[in-house]
């Protein structure tokens, strides 16, 4: 379709002056797929000097971050032209000289004179990406080097504890037990740190299986009640509850983080209640404690990386549990939130979409098949 007429022309002429001075790459594409405008930053980023057409099979400019070539029908501008939304999408841009840049793509359709043009931006994040990778590598190397000596400390402390106990030296044996527990705690913190550096899986890499949240919650409660004094974790779940579609170990990790926090941030004599509530389109799981609660002004920051609130007492914790939980829940199309009354307690909830509502084995069947 010919581009542009009247308003569209007016828009492009004026917008061009503005776009030309932007540091972000800007591309404007007509409904035909023809690139009708691109600024200097776009030339600098992509190295392309010829406008071209986004449907041209010869132009293969983009890779996904895992280096898979982006097929023609998945090109972001092609998707936008097809009416899809593309927001903060990460790509590797291959330049004609063989070098590559990391870029974040955003775009929108703009209706002008009955035509729809696509206005897209590419932000060069190559340097930020390099720094992030360096940070990730450092954490991996350091944690790898720390894990082995920690495992030795923990194992030796256990052996010594047993020897001291058999010699009747109970106070010394208790000290050894503390050393071994502290080493285990440190190993857990290192694991959390490593987990937090993992890149969010890409949609095609997200593994899914049917997950019965009631069974998951009951198994977790049984396990925690068998190792924690007071059997504090209670599960309230109706039967049957439709299954959701996710990786059960990752969702289990989310629930465990929330329940461990609830145990950690509430008095030892109070219960922690896990509720599973089926809805039309989602299943919601909530974890309620009668703990310190969270001041209102801290709530928006809770899910940020490394954020630790005023309720955190004691040394254990890195401020990563809720950050990882949110990332996981969002990977599976869900939401996570918190309601809290300071001094009375908190309820952390997450909801995940129901995939199929028929032909699903009941939760009891699943529990039995797992011997639970």
| Residues lying near ligand ADP in the complex (CB under 6 A) | 257, 261-262, 265, 289, 291-292, 294, 302, 307-309, 311-312, 317-323, 346
**Nearest distance from C-beta of residue 312 to ligand ADP, angstroms:** 4
CA distances from 191 to 23, 147, 172 (A): 39, 9, 29
- Nearer Cβ to ligand ADP, position 81 or 263? 263
Is residue 330 within 8 Å of residue 284, measured between CB atoms? no
**Nearest distance from C-beta of residue 338 to ligand ADP, angstroms:** 8
**Nearest distance from C-beta of residue 293 to ligand ADP, angstroms:** 6
Residue environment code for 294-315, b if the CB has 16+ CB neighbours within 10 A, otherwise e: beeebeeebbeeebebebeeee
**Nearest distance from C-beta of residue 162 to ligand ADP, angstroms:** 31
**Nearest distance from C-beta of residue 180 to ligand ADP, angstroms:** 21
> Rounded CA gap, 181 and 155, in Å?
10
**Nearest distance from C-beta of residue 337 to ligand ADP, angstroms:** 12
- Nearer Cβ to ligand ADP, position 55 or 307? 307
- What 3-state class would DSSP assign to 129? helix
340 CB burial (10 A radius; 0-12, 13-18, 19+): buried
- Nearer Cβ to ligand ADP, position 248 or 311? 311
Q: Tell me which residue has tokens 């990790």.
A: 253
**Nearest distance from C-beta of residue 48 to ligand ADP, angstroms:** 43
Q: Tell me which residue has tokens 């591309």.
A: 27
Query: How do strand 233-236 and strand 272-278 relate by DSSP bridges?
Result: parallel
- Nearer Cβ to ligand ADP, position 39 or 261? 261
Here the tokens at position 241 are: 């509850």
* Residue 137 CB partners (closer than 8 Å, separation 6+): none
- Nearer Cβ to ligand ADP, position 89 or 255? 255
183 CB burial (10 A radius; 0-12, 13-18, 19+): buried
**Nearest distance from C-beta of residue 257 to ligand ADP, angstroms:** 6
- Nearer Cβ to ligand ADP, position 41 or 302? 302
- Nearer Cβ to ligand ADP, position 74 or 195? 195
**Nearest distance from C-beta of residue 340 to ligand ADP, angstroms:** 7
- Nearer Cβ to ligand ADP, position 176 or 322? 322
Q: Residues 360-368: contacts with CB within 8 Å, 24+ apart? A: 360/210, 360/240, 360/242, 360/243, 361/210, 362/239, 362/240, 363/212, 363/214, 363/215, 363/239, 363/240, 363/241, 364/239, 364/240, 366/212, 366/215, 367/212, 367/215, 367/218
- Nearer Cβ to ligand ADP, position 180 or 292? 292
C-alpha triplet 230, 235, 237: angle, nearest 5°: 170
């Amino acid at each position: 379709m010919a581009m542009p007429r009247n308003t569209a022309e007016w828009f492009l002429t004026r917008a061009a002056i503005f776009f030309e001075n932007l540091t972000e790459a800007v591309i404007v594409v007509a409904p035909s797929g023809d690139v009708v405008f691109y600024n200097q930053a776009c030339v600098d980023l992509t190295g392309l000097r010829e406008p071209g057409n986004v449907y041209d099979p010869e132009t293969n400019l983009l890779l996904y971050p895992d280096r898979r070539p982006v097929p023609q029908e998945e090109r972001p501008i092609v998707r936008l032209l097809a009416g899809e939304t593309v927001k903060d999408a990460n790509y590797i841009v291959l330049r004609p000289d063989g070098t590559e840049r990391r870029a974040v793509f955003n775009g929108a359709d703009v209706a002008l004179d009955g035509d729809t043009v696509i206005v897209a931006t590419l932000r060069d994040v190559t340097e930020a990406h390099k720094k992030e990778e360096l940070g990730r590598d450092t954490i991996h190397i350091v944690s790898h080097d720390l894990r082995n000596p920690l495992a030795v400390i923990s194992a030796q402390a256990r052996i010594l504890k047993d020897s001291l106990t058999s010699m009747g030296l109970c106070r010394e044996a208790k000290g050894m037990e503390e050393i071994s527990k502290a080493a285990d705690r440190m190993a857990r913190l290192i694991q959390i740190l490593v987990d937090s550096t993992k890149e969010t899986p890409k949609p095609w890499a997200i593994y899914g299986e049917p997950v019965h949240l009631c069974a998951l919650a009951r198994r977790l409660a049984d396990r925690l009640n068998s190792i924690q004094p007071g059997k504090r974790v209670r599960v309230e779940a109706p039967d049957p509850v439709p299954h959701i579609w996710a990786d059960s170990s990752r969702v289990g990790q989310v629930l465990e983080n929330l329940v461990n926090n609830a145990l950690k941030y509430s008095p030892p004599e109070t219960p922690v209640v896990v509720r599973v509530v089926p809805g039309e389109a989602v299943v919601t799981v909530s974890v309620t404690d009668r703990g310190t609660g969270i001041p209102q002004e801290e709530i928006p920051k809770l899910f940020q990386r490394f954020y630790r609130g005023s309720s955190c007492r004691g040394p254990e914790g890195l401020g990563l549990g809720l950050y990882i939980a949110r990332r996981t829940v969002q990977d599976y199309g869900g939401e996570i939130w918190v309601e809290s009354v300071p001094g009375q307690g908190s309820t952390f909830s997450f909801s995940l979409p129901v995939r199929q509502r028929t032909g699903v084995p009941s939760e009891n069947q699943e529990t039995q098949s797992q011997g639970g």
